[in-house]
């Protein structure tokens, strides 16, 4: 009984920081519809500022003053980010802003390293709250009780702000209908800035307030961000009470998970999220998203046509150039190009479902890594010849996509995205934890191609043929009735259903095709690297693909491929420099601002303006 | 501020290398590490590495040529590391590869090394598989493996009358291997021990309060800790606050390393039996000499385990090059066989022909607090060889060559 | 007279609200029939049940004698019911012709075909349909830049793609200028005549209704209060009562002008 109560208290205390960060993210999403990946970075900054301030300001007053001050500073940093980085791209396609926030993550990571150094900083303890209180015989840290006492006040304050003040009314109005706020005569951009300040300040507070239970380190930004997204989604995006309920739910379940199922620590919250979403598709307290929202912000997509003679000639010329690389280029150029082609195929497979089908997946790495693992497992455990194992990669990934897709296509928008993420985390944790089969994070090694394919040049040609073949296949499919049906379902679900198209079946097929082609890329990957590890299934891998699709141009056909080539090329070159993340981050932000339609989309627009390219939109 | 100094120190080192390199074409070594992803551990390694390079070049280099290390960041991704390894070997003209802290990156490079015939000296990765189950003729490893360090702790644990043990380890390959080795060896030494709880927090995402409660609920006599870094900080703080460590012996793998003990400061745990690196306690010999030289080169720094590993990595490579008398891969490969590396900060070591593992040992001792800092006391240096499995067992584990 | 659509006792209840209550009517082949009623009378709910977007609480809908109650929209469409929406739902990213081709592809069950390219499939048929609605000259324009009236006509062409025996048109002229309204309804009337199909439509513009509909039904608070010719409906006492508050039956409703 005592232990149970103590565990409950621990869970509630853990919920405090999580709730602060999650409510900020939820608020920002609710009003601005921006999926702010940099929210974890703001949390990290809150912790670092907290540590620094607490060293300067002594005593209890200094401690709590530092917490508040950290929130304030981080809030102001949020304002700077909003004005400099996000404001220029509000009119870009939905979710495009997440690319910008990804750039912000990289910049903040390197700046933090520059300013505070690499060493982990242990958090100061709260003066006067250093010991324990005995409750039913169990020791409970005083600071835990303080956190439990503070959280309801913050919830109440937010509730008051949102329901009782004019700002709150505007925020709520904006959450439900953004155009309404403009109609009410409110300056929308300042409302967005205000909300960004509040949301960022909450993240900063969260970072500072957790210091006595932890500290500040350079990995905490990415460590918290997935948990925060899970909380926001379980609670319902945009709902503050939802974020509170979900923080408590996740934190408490986690404590009991640790006690009774210690191995569950990796995957528990994703299982909870998947279950919640399957029962309540919009989270516990969320509202249904208005239909037709994604892919429809900004300019509509344009009609597509298979490449004409000029286009085909250019592609053919590029192919010839690539085929001649082994003659003129160095050995390493082939290695690098092999990497790039694989990434291009992976990105193209995501673009097929994302752009053509309007299905935004946050978990596409599950199929890339899934295919790679499928091949590697056959080689390791069954001694399968490479050729057969390679063919198995797209097959297994497609099968995985069929299974997961069946669940995911029931949802839409951000909730669809988060369910794909939950499934990809399940695959990741299986690879990570099922040590006997997958080798855990020591992975599977010595997965090399057969003798006839083993040379760098041979494998380069193999990748060129299979990779480019896969990309062309995806492009071909985009122009077939299936591709058109996917776009029909994306443009108008209602019209498509009313003209006999089984939209869910079409989307399911699109999902499976995208999964299979990602698996093909995974197959190429594993035999080029000779090994596979769970990091190829990580969220970061999924977002790599997502970001290059947006960076290249989500409303184009070749955006993913161009974005991937650009990103991999730039990254290879930049990692030689010490602060490459800072430069890459700034570069991404610059591209986002200069080319809000993505690289390909903006080039096309430029060409239209100059008259090289005739488009009806230039009328 | 601190950063600026680091940068300047690095710049001086580079200039020094560049200066002497003009004389004759340098011998290039490819180094891959997680300089960004695990900056806290990779930076000391780089400093140790640079120091050794500078000393060797000041003394005239190797084979009459200066050494040059090309360091690249892999962002902690095995796939990227493999690409960079190819680039270093085929474009930059390095003669061999070294580096890595994470076991998975080490294993990925090792697999590539065997396939392409590159020599790879794994500096820090701890996984036993690197030299045993997945071992290959092209991969050598400097640092003492997980198995050996766990065995040193298990030996000490077997001397007490504690029988109920609880373990806590990060939920990934290193953690599981460390727990498995400790359990196996302790059970062999003392068959009546009982493992009453096994806790597996996610790496760097520990829920310390909950883990401490779960451990306490199991009422163990002693605890075996494998957590490190920020997980360790949180675990120690919650454990001390809630009285978990009172009256219990704790065995901490790597806990005594300055990387992990320093940030804890005055909150460092007392009385834990740990493996680590008590540089402050060294009084003479090559170990002390290294500490002095390191602190002279980097006035704001104290040596970490990473520093000594980086330093010994370059010493090992220089020794191999000297013995080989050339930079050819076959000659180097032959040189690494039973290679003797004299006068390292941990004494003379050897790369065993049996499994390509060096005989670098480890310090064990008990933690204490001195001047507000965590230190190891009553420490001793242990030769790893007695803690390794028998030659036959290792031969059975290594794939046939 | 052949009955194409037979609706018996159709009801939809949302909690306590009876949005549609026991509605019974027929639509005959070749008939252009209007369903009118004040705002909130239940017209759209009724339509959505006929087309399968909503499941009825009670009642039965049959098409050419076959029970189609509660079937999904795409199954009802396959049985020969076309539909246009109050707010157009065309495919913004496709050309005008492709919008029609998409419906034709679905009609010919070629959705999962992988050859040939979609923009080549059934293009001539699509152009023929566009010719009927007078949109052939805009066939290759992007749908996203069409004028609203053109979108409405395009939707009509799409609705004709599966050779329907019955067309359901929800507020076909909403948001259009008076001249355009007249043109579209004339077009619809011509189609009914030329192809011998049936049309059931809802409409706010009484001029349009009384000028073109063969028969008119009046829905009020979920119940059908009249079903007859224009003259019969005009003289129906209950209908007059319902509409008196909003002026006469002949005046346009300002709110929708």
Structural domain contains residue B155: yes
Residues B318 and B300 in one domain: yes
Domain hosting B383: range is 147-281+362-392
Residues B370 and B326 in one domain: no
Residues B319 and B387 in one domain: no
How far from chain centre, in Å, is Cα B200?
22
Contacts of A576 in chain B (CB under 8 A): 72
Decide if B243 touches A, using CB distance below 8 A.
Answer: yes
Measured between alpha carbons, how far is A137 from A135 in angstroms, rounded to an integer? 5
Top pLDDT among C247 and A52 is at A52
Count residue pairs from A and C with Cβ separation < 8 A. Answer: 121
pLDDT band at residue C249 under the 50/70/90 scheme: very low
Measured between alpha carbons, how far is A349 from A545 in angstroms, rounded to an integer? 9
pTM of the model: 0.90
Decide if B110 touches A, using CB distance below 8 A.
Answer: yes
Q: How far is CA A552 from CA A296, A350, A600, B34, in A?
A: 18, 12, 6, 28
Residues B89 and B104 in one domain: yes
Contacts of C102 in chain A (CB under 8 A): 484-485, 488, 496, 499, 501
Contacts of B210 in chain A (CB under 8 A): 7, 10-11, 14, 254-255, 258-259
- What's the pLDDT score for residue C240? 82
The lowest-confidence range among A192-201, B55-64, B344-353, C80-89 is C80-89
**Residues 210-229, chain B, touching A (beta carbon < 8 A):** 210-211, 213-214, 217, 229
Residue C28 DSSP code: E
Residues C236 and C120 in one domain: no
Final residue of a domain: which of A539, A564, A595?
A539
Residues A214 and A350 in one domain: no
Confidence check: pLDDT of B203 > 80? yes
- What's the pLDDT score for residue A346? 97
- What token pair was written down for C211? 């000028």
Residue C112 DSSP code: T
Confidence check: pLDDT of B240 > 70? yes
CB contact under 8 A, A300 and C119: no
Decide if A147 touches B, using CB distance below 8 A.
Answer: no
Which chains are adjacent to chain C, needing at least 3 Cβ pairs under 8 Å? A
Task: For residue B179, give every residue at least 6 positions away whose Cβ sits within 8 Å of its Cβ, in sequence order, or none.
Answer: B167, B169, B198, B224, B226
Residues B43 and B90 in one domain: yes
* Minimum distance, in Å, between the CA of residue A293 and any CA atom of chain C: 13
Which chain A residue shows the shortest CA-CA distance from B168? A262
CB contact under 8 A, B103 and A441: yes
- What's the pLDDT score for residue C252? 39
* Minimum distance, in Å, between the CA of residue A601 and any CA atom of chain C: 15
Residues B67 and B165 in one domain: no
Decide if A118 touches B, using CB distance below 8 A.
Answer: yes
Top pLDDT among A415 and B5 is at A415
Contacts of B3 in chain A (CB under 8 A): 114-115, 117
Contacts of A1 in chain B (CB under 8 A): none
Residues C52 and C154 in one domain: yes
- What token pair was written down for B21? 């390199």
Measured between alpha carbons, how far is A357 from A350 in angstroms, rounded to an integer? 10
User: Are A93 and A298 a contacting pair, CB within 8 Å?
Assistant: yes
Long-range contacts of A257-263 (CB under 8 A, 24+ apart): A258/B199, A258/B201, A258/B207, A258/B210, A258/B211, A258/B213, A258/B214, A259/A7, A259/B210, A259/B213, A259/B214, A259/B217, A262/B197, A262/B198, A262/B199, A262/B200, A262/B214, A263/A433, A263/B171, A263/B200
Decide if A597 touches C, using CB distance below 8 A.
Answer: no
pLDDT band at residue C39 under the 50/70/90 scheme: confident
Structural domain contains residue B211: yes
Domain hosting A340: range is 329-539
Structural domain contains residue A18: yes
Task: For residue C73, give every residue at least 6 positions away whose Cβ sits within 8 Å of its Cβ, in sequence order, or none.
Answer: A497, A498, C51, C52, C53, C83
What's the number of domains chain B is made of? 2
- What's the pLDDT score for residue A141? 92
Measured between alpha carbons, how far is C191 from C159 in angstroms, rounded to an integer? 12
Q: How far is CA B127 from CA B78, B124, B145, C161, in A?
A: 15, 9, 6, 66
- What's the pLDDT score for residue A171? 78
User: Are A274 and A530 a contacting pair, CB within 8 Å?
Assistant: no
- What's the pLDDT score for residue A613? 58
Q: Match 């000499």 to its residue by tokens.
A: B289
Q: What is the pLDDT of residues C45-70, one digit of tens each?
A: 898 899 888 899 999 999 999 999 98
Residues C176 and C134 in one domain: no
Q: What is the ipTM of this complex?
A: 0.89
Q: What is the pLDDT of residues B349-379, one digit of tens each?
A: 999 999 999 999 999 999 999 999 999 999 9
Measured between alpha carbons, how far is A165 from B9 in angstroms, rounded to an integer? 56
Residues C215 and C239 in one domain: yes
Closest among A526, A525, A482, A579 to A380, alpha carbons compared? A526
User: Are C195 and C219 a contacting pair, CB within 8 Å?
Assistant: no
Residues B275 and B293 in one domain: no
Mean pLDDT of C107-130: 91
Which chain B residue shows the shortest CA-CA distance from A133? B242
Residues B179 and B243 in one domain: yes
Q: ω before C116 within 30° of 0 (cis)?
A: yes
* Minimum distance, in Å, between the CA of residue B342 and any CA atom of chain A: 32
- What's the pLDDT score for residue B400? 75
Measured between alpha carbons, how far is C216 from C32 in angstroms, rounded to an integer? 9
User: Are A377 and A437 a contacting pair, CB within 8 Å?
Assistant: yes
Final residue of a domain: which of A193, A219, A245?
A219
Which chain B residue shows the shortest CA-CA distance from A442? B104
Top pLDDT among B261 and C16 is at B261
Let me know if chains B and C touch, i.e. at least 3 Cβ pairs under 8 angstroms. Answer: no
SS (H, E, C) B243-283: CCCCCCEEEEEEEECHHHHHHHHHHCCCCCEEEECCHHHCC
Residues C98 and C86 in one domain: no
User: Are B44 and B304 a contacting pair, CB within 8 Å?
Assistant: yes
Q: How far is CA C210 from CA A252, C43, C131, in A?
A: 66, 17, 27
CB contact under 8 A, C102 and A477: no
Residues C155 and C115 in one domain: no
Domain hosting C125: range is 94-144
What's the number of domains chain A is made of? 2
Structural domain contains residue B400: no
- What's the pLDDT score for residue A299? 67
Structural domain contains residue A618: no
E-strand spans in B169-272?
Answer: 194-199, 222-225, 249-256
Structural domain contains residue B398: no
Structural domain contains residue C80: yes
Structural domain contains residue B153: yes
CB contact under 8 A, A530 and B108: yes
Task: For residue B7, give every residue at least 6 positions away whose Cβ sits within 8 Å of its Cβ, in sequence order, or none.
Answer: none
Q: For residue C150, give the CATH number of its domain.
A: 3.40.50.300
Contacts of A533 in chain B (CB under 8 A): 78-79, 104, 107-108
CB contact under 8 A, A497 and C118: no
Handedness of CA A370, A373, A378, A384 (dihedral sign): positive
Structural domain contains residue B121: yes
Residues C129 and C217 in one domain: no
Q: For residue B156, give the CATH number of its domain.
A: 3.40.50.2300
pLDDT band at residue B19 under the 50/70/90 scheme: very low
Structural domain contains residue A359: yes
Which chains are adjacent to chain A, needing at least 3 Cβ pairs under 8 Å? B, C
Contacts of A266 in chain B (CB under 8 A): 171, 202
Final residue of a domain: which of C82, C115, C144?
C144
Decide if A25 touches C, using CB distance below 8 A.
Answer: no
- What token pair was written down for A424? 């990809």
Final residue of a domain: which of A492, A523, A539?
A539
Give the H/E segment covering residue A592: helix A580-594
Q: Match 């790369």 to its residue by tokens.
A: B351
Q: Apex CA B35: angle with CA B33 and CA B36, to 5°?
A: 130
pLDDT band at residue B23 under the 50/70/90 scheme: low
Residues B29 and B172 in one domain: no
Mutate to test the interface with B, among A346, A530, A580 (most CBs of B within 10 A): A530
What's the number of domains chain C is made of? 2
- What's the pLDDT score for residue B295? 96
Neighbours of B145 (CB within 10 A): 25
Residues in chain A, pLDDT under 50:
291-296, 616-619
Decide if A497 touches C, using CB distance below 8 A.
Answer: yes
Mean pLDDT of C180-193: 90
Mutate to test the interface with A, among C72, C74, C109, C113 (most CBs of A within 10 A): C74
Contacts of A489 in chain C (CB under 8 A): none
- What token pair was written down for A159? 């509730």
Residues B25 and B121 in one domain: yes
Decide if A572 touches B, using CB distance below 8 A.
Answer: yes
Contacts of A491 in chain C (CB under 8 A): 90-94
* Strands B373-382, B362-370: pairing kind: antiparallel
Structural domain contains residue A291: no
What is the greatest pairwise CA distance in chain B?
Answer: 67
Residues B246 and B289 in one domain: no
Structural domain contains residue B194: yes
Decide if A446 touches C, using CB distance below 8 A.
Answer: no
Residues C251 and C183 in one domain: yes
Measured between alpha carbons, how far is B100 from B105 in angstroms, rounded to an integer? 6
């Amino acid at each position: 009984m005592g232990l149970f109560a103590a565990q409950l208290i621990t869970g509630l205390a853990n919920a405090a920081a999580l709730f602060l960060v999650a409510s900020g993210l939820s608020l920002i999403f609710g009003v601005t519809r921006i999926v702010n990946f940099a929210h974890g970075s703001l949390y990290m900054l809150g912790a670092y500022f907290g540590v620094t301030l607490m060293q300067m300001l002594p005593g209890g007053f200094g401690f709590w003053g530092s917490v508040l001050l950290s929130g304030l500073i981080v809030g102001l940093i949020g304002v700077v980010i909003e004005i400099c980085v996000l404001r220029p791209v509000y009119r870009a396609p939905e979710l495009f802003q997440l690319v910008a926030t990804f750039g912000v993550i990289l910049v903040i990571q390197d700046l933090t390293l520059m300013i505070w150094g690499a060493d982990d900083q242990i958090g100061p303890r709260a003066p006067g709250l250093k010991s324990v209180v005995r409750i039913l015989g169990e020791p409970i840290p005083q600071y835990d009780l303080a956190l439990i006492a503070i959280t309801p006040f913050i919830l109440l304050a937010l509730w008051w702000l949102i329901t009782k003040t004019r700002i709150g009314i505007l925020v709520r109005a904006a959450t439900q209908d953004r155009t309404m706020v403009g109609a009410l005569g409110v300056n929308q951009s300042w409302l967005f800035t205000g909300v960004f300040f509040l949301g960022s300040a909450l993240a900063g507070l969260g970072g500072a307030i957790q210091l006595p239970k932890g500290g500040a380190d350079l990995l905490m930004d990415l460590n918290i961000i997935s948990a925060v997204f899970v909380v926001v989604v379980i609670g319902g995006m945009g709902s503050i009470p939802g974020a509170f309920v979900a923080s408590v739910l996740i934190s408490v379940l986690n404590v009991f998970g640790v006690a009774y199922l210690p191995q569950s620590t990796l995957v528990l919250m994703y299982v909870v999220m998947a279950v919640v979403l399957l029962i309540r598709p919009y989270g516990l307290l969320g509202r249904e998203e208005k239909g037709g929202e994604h892919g429809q912000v900004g300019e509509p997509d344009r009609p597509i046509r298979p490449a004409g003679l000029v286009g085909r000639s250019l592609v053919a010329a590029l192919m010839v150039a690539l085929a001649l690389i082994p003659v003129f280029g160095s050995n390493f150029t082939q290695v690098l190009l092999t990497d790039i082609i694989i990434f291009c195929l992976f990105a193209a497979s995501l673009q097929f479902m994302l752009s053509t089908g309007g299905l935004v997946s946050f978990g596409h790495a599950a199929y890339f890594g899934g295919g790679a693992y499928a091949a590697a497992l056959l080689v390791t455990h069954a001694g399968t010849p490479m050729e057969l194992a390679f063919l198995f990669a797209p097959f297994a990934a497609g099968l995985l996509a069929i299974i997961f897709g069946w669940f995911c296509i029931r949802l839409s928008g951000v909730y669809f995205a988060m369910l794909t993420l939950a499934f990809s985390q399940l695959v990741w944790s299986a690879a990570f934890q099922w040590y006997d089969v997958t080798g855990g994070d020591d992975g599977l090694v010595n997965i090399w191609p057969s003798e006839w394919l083993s040379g760098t040049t041979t494998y380069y040609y193999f990748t060129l043929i299979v990779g480019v073949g896969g990309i062309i296949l995806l492009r071909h499919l985009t122009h077939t009735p299936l591709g058109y049906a996917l776009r029909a379902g994306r443009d108008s679900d209602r019209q498509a259903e009313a003209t006999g198209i089984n939209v869910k079946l079409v989307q399911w097929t699109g999902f499976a095709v995208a999964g299979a082609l990602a698996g093909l890329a995974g197959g190429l990957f594993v035999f080029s690297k000779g090994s596979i590890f769970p990091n190829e299934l990580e969220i970061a891998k999924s977002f790599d693909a997502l970001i290059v699709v947006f960076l290249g141009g989500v409303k184009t056909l070749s955006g993913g491929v161009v974005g991937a080539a650009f990103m991999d090329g730039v990254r290879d070159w930049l990692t030689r420099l010490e602060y490459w993340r800072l430069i890459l981050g700034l570069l991404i932000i610059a591209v986002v601002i200069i080319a809000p339609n993505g690289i390909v989309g903006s080039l096309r627009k430029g060409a239209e303006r100059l008259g090289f390219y005739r488009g009806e939109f230039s009328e | 501020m601190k950063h600026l100094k680091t940068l300047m120190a690095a710049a001086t080192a580079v200039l020094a290398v560049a200066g002497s390199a003009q004389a004759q074409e340098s011998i290039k070594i490819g180094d891959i590490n997680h300089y960004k992803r695990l900056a806290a551990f990779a930076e000391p390694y780089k400093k140790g590495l640079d120091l050794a390079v500078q000393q060797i070049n000041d003394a005239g280099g190797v084979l009459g040529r200066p050494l040059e290390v090309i360091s690249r960041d892999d962002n902690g991704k095995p796939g990227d590391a493999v690409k960079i390894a190819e680039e270093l070997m085929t474009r930059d003209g390095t003669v061999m590869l070294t580096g890595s802290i994470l076991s998975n990156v080490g294993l990925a490079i090792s697999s590539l090394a065997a396939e392409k015939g590159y020599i790879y000296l794994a500096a820090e990765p701890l996984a036993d598989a690197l030299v045993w189950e997945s071992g290959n003729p092209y991969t050598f490893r400097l640092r003492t493996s997980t198995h050996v360090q766990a065995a040193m702790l298990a030996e000490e644990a077997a001397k007490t009358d504690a029988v109920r043990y609880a373990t806590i380890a990060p939920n990934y390959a290193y953690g599981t291997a460390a727990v498995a080795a400790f359990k196996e060896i302790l059970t062999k030494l003392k068959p009546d021990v009982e493992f009453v709880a096994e806790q597996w927090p996610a790496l760097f995402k520990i829920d310390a309060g909950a883990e401490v409660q779960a451990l306490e609920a199991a009422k163990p006599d002693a605890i075996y800790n494998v957590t490190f870094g920020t997980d360790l900080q949180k675990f120690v703080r919650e454990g001390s606050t809630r009285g978990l460590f009172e009256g219990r012996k704790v065995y901490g793998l790597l806990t005594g390393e300055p990387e992990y003990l320093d940030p804890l400061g005055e909150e460092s745990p007392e009385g834990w039996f740990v493996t680590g690196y008590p540089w402050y306690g060294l009084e003479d010999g090559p170990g002390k000499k290294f500490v002095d030289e390191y602190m002279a080169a980097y006035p704001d720094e104290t040596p970490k385990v990473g520093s000594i590993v980086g330093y010994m990595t370059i010493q090992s490579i220089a020794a191999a090059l000297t013995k080989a008398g050339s930079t050819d891969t076959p000659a180097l490969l032959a040189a690494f066989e039973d290679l003797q590396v004299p006068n390292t900060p941990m004494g003379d070591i050897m790369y065993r022909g049996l499994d390509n593992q060096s005989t670098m040992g480890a310090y064990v001792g008990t933690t204490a607090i001195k001047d507000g800092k965590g230190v190891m006391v009553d420490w001793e240096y242990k030769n790893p060889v007695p803690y390794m499995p028998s030659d036959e067992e290792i031969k059975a584990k290594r794939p046939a060559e | 007279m052949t009955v194409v659509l037979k609706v018996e006792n159709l009801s939809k209840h949302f909690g306590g609200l009876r949005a549609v209550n026991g509605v019974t009517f027929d639509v005959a082949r070749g008939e252009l029939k209007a369903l009118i009623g004040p705002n909130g009378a239940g017209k759209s709910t009724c339509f959505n049940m006929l087309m399968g977007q909503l499941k009825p609480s009670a009642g039965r809908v049959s098409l050419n004698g076959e029970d189609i109650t509660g079937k999904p929209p795409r199954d009802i469409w396959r049985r020969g019911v076309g539909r246009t929406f109050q707010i157009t739902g065309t495919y913004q990213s496709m050309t005008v012709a492709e919008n029609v081709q998409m419906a034709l592809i679905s009609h010919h069950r070629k959705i999962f075909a992988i050859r040939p390219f979609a923009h080549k499939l059934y293009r001539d048929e699509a152009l023929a349909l566009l010719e009927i609605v007078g949109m052939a000259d805009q066939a290759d324009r992007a749908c996203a830049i069409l004028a609203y009236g053109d979108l409405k006509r395009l939707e009509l062409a799409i609705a004709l793609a599966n050779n329907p025996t019955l067309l359901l048109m929800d507020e076909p002229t909403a948001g259009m200028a008076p001249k355009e309204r007249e043109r579209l309804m004339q077009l619809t009337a011509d189609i009914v005549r030329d192809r011998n199909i049936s049309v059931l439509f809802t409409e706010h513009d009484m001029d349009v209704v009384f000028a073109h509909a063969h028969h008119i039904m009046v829905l009020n608070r979920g119940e059908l209060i009249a079903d007859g010719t224009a003259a019969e409906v005009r003289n129906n006492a209950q209908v007059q009562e319902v509409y008196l508050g909003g002026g006469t039956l002949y005046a346009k409703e300002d709110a929708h002008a």
